[in-house]
Each structure stands twice: as C-alpha cells, then as structure tokens.
C-alpha cells in the first residue's frame, strides 16, 4: 500500500524538525512526504529543505500565498497546493500537521488496519497534549472516536468518494461524517498516541471561533444541535465566550445564506447521526 503524506506548514520552525524526525524514524516510512510551506516568515522552508536533502522521499515546496493565515480554507488550499506535486499513485493519503510527534510504529500499525478492513475509509491514532504538570493527556477538543485534523489518513477510494477536503473551517468534521454517509468504516487506534506540540486553537486568529459557528451552519446542523456543540466546546475550554462567538457565527452564516458544505440528504444524515450519539450518551 503506497502512502503519501501532505503537511501544510506555516511558521512552524519551533516544531517542524521534531515532527519530521518522527516521520523518518518510522518502522514503515511513507512513500512520499510533501511539506507545503505557506509563505512562512520564519525558517520553516529551510528546515524542511534540510530533510529533503537527506531523504529523497521528502519534498518541500513554497506556496507564495498572501492572504491572512486562518484555519480552514487557508490550510486546505495549501494542502491541495502540496498535493499537486504528488506522484498520485497512492493507496493511502494523509494530511498531517507540522507540530505532531508520531510513535515509531504509527504507519506500520495503521497500514495493517487498512489491510484488515477493506471498507476502512479513515483511520488515525489519538491526539495528546502536555498538561501543566508535564503529563500527556488526551486533547479534549473532541471524543476519542473522532479522527482529528492533525492526523488525517484516508484510503484513496474514500478520499475521492467524499469529494476530497472542503476548503472551509469544519473540513475535519464533515469529512468523517461524509465517510460514514458513504458507508465507510472510520476508526481510531487508542494505542497509537500522537503528541500534539501546540494545542488546537492556540494560534487561531480571534475571528476563527466565529468561523467555527459558521461551519456548524454550513454542515446543516440546525440551531439546536449547533447550540449543543458550541456549549460542549465552551465547557471543554472553560471559556463562556466560545458559546457566544460560535452562535454569533452561526447566526451570521444563516442571515447571509452562506453555501452549505453538504447536500440536504447528507445534512439529514449528519443531524440524525449526531442526535443518535447524543441520546446514546444521555441514556
């Protein structure tokens, strides 16, 4: 199974070397790894270039984009910039962040799961962050069953079927929901603990939280489900402003009638799936 990894990177000099070191130390290395540098102002490109000189399966390309760096569309557009340089003969395609540390058997184990389950569309380990007391704990931005944005890995067939990645914030939720809609199996492997060196949201522009609310609208959640999702995030981060900002973003998207990311039928499936999970947890 040929494995291609794309790493969209922007001003990642602090963590990129450690991240790439964890890739080259794998028991099964990728067939290609492409670092897409999104016009960084630090030494991100030079660090990636050093690795590309040592390992012929690592490539780095500079994307001369100029717009404000934001989560969502900016990241996905840069992902596709990197993907444009791929050999395109992959069986598994990954989108990874530049600030993760993988356990050495990560890809060997993940490949085994794709071989074991023919209908497996997405698979990943769990993401951990360092706590104040120095312990590595699960990053509670989502449940352990959710495949997180920093470590996305798709079968080529599933990636094509879901229409690739949406250039919008919320892409790393809608992709998994669409995979389920198309009857692909998705799974996380708890034994594969990925260290996330920079917690999610730490470098987000303040506007990003409202964009998260807009994403809930664009995924056709409906207001009640969006409210519960925003409330959960507000509780997890112990920040009441998150609820306010998410809902403000949702209302804004609704008023502007922003385009949806999914069809009516897909949206109906997403709502039913979410409500079913909520009832399962409550009862």
What's the rounded mean pLDDT across residues 60-83? 85
Q: CA–CA separation, 98 vs 40, rounded Å?
A: 13
Rama region for 94: left / alpha / beta (φ>0; ψ in -120 to 50; rest): beta
What pLDDT score was predicted for residue 201?
57
- Which residue ranges form the domains of the chain, and what is each CATH number? 3-196 (3.90.550.10), 208-282 (no CATH)
- Residue from 76, 270, 269 nearest 166 by CA: 76
Q: CA–CA separation, 115 vs 18, rounded Å?
A: 29
pLDDT at 203 over 70: no
Tokens 């990728």, residue? 30
Confidence category of residue 71, pLDDT binned at 50, 70, 90: low
What pLDDT score was predicted for residue 233?
86
As a dihedral over the C-alpha atoms of residue 5, residue 260, residue 148, residue 268, rounded to 10 degrees, the angle is: -120
**Residue 19 has which token pair?**
């991240």
Cβ atoms of 222 and 229 closer than 8 Å:
no
Return the HEC string of 197-209: CCCCCCCCCCCHH
Cβ atoms of 246 and 207 closer than 8 Å:
no
Among positive and negative, which fits the CA dihedral 29, 192, 161, 168? negative
What's the rounded mean pLDDT across residues 115-138? 95
Q: CA–CA separation, 182 vs 185, rounded Å?
A: 9
More confident residue, 146 or 236: 146
pLDDT at 4 over 90: yes
With a pLDDT cut of 90, the percent of the chain lying above it is: 80
Tokens 């409500």, residue? 275
As a dihedral over the C-alpha atoms of residue 166, residue 171, residue 175, residue 177, rounded to 10 degrees, the angle is: -130
Cβ atoms of 197 and 99 closer than 8 Å:
yes
Q: CA–CA separation, 212 vs 72, rounded Å?
A: 9
Cβ atoms of 54 and 19 closer than 8 Å:
no
User: Which residues fall within 8 angstroms of residue 206, CB to CB, at 6 or more apart?
Assistant: none
What pLDDT score was predicted for residue 205?
52
**Residue 144 has which token pair?**
């352990």
CA angle centred on 49, ends 46 and 51, rounded to 5°: 120
What's the rounded mean pLDDT across residues 31-45? 97
What DSSP designation does 228 have?
A: H
Predicted confidence (pLDDT) per residue in 226-260, tens digit = 999 999 888 888 888 889 999 999 999 999 999 99
Q: Give 44-49's long-range contacts (Cβ < 8 A, gap of 24+).
A: 44/9, 44/10, 44/11, 44/12, 44/13, 44/16, 44/98, 47/12, 47/13, 47/16, 47/17, 47/20, 48/9, 48/16, 48/20
What is the pTM (predicted TM-score) of this model?
0.92
| Burial class of residue 246 (count of CB atoms within 10 Å of its CB; 0-12, 13-18, 19+) | buried
């Amino acid at each position: 199974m040929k494995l291609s990894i794309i790493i969209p990177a922007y001003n990642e000099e602090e963590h990129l070397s450690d991240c790439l070191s964890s890739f080259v130390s794998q028991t099964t290395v990728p067939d290609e790894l492409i670092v897409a540098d999104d016009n960084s102002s630090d030494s991100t490109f030079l660090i990636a270039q050093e690795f590309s000189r040592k390992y012929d399966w690592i490539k780095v390309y500079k994307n001369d984009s100029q717009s404000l760096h934001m989560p969502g569309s900016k990241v996905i557009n840069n992902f596709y910039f990197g993907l444009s340089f791929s050999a395109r003969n992959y069986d598994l395609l990954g989108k990874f962040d530049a600030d993760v540390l993988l356990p050495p058997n990560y890809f060997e184990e993940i490949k085994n799961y794709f071989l074991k389950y023919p209908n497996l569309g997405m698979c990943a380990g769990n993401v951990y962050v360092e706590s104040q007391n120095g312990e590595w704990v699960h990053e509670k931005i989502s449940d352990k069953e959710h495949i997180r944005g920093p470590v996305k890995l798709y079968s080529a067939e599933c990636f094509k079927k879901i229409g690739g990645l949406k250039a919008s914030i919320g892409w790393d939720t809608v992709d998994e929901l669409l995979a389920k809609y198309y009857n692909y199996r998705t799974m996380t492997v708890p034994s594969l603990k990925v260290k996330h060196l920079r917690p999610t949201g730490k470098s987000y522009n303040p506007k990003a939280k409202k964009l998260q609310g807009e994403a809930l609208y664009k995924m056709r959640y409906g207001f009640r489900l969006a409210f519960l999702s925003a409330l959960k995030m507000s509780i997890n981060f112990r920040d009441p402003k998150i609820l306010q900002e998410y809902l403000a973003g949702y209302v804004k998207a609704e008023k502007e009638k922003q385009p949806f990311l999914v069809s009516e039928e897909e949206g109906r499936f997403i709502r039913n799936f979410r409500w079913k999970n909520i009832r399962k947890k409550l009862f």
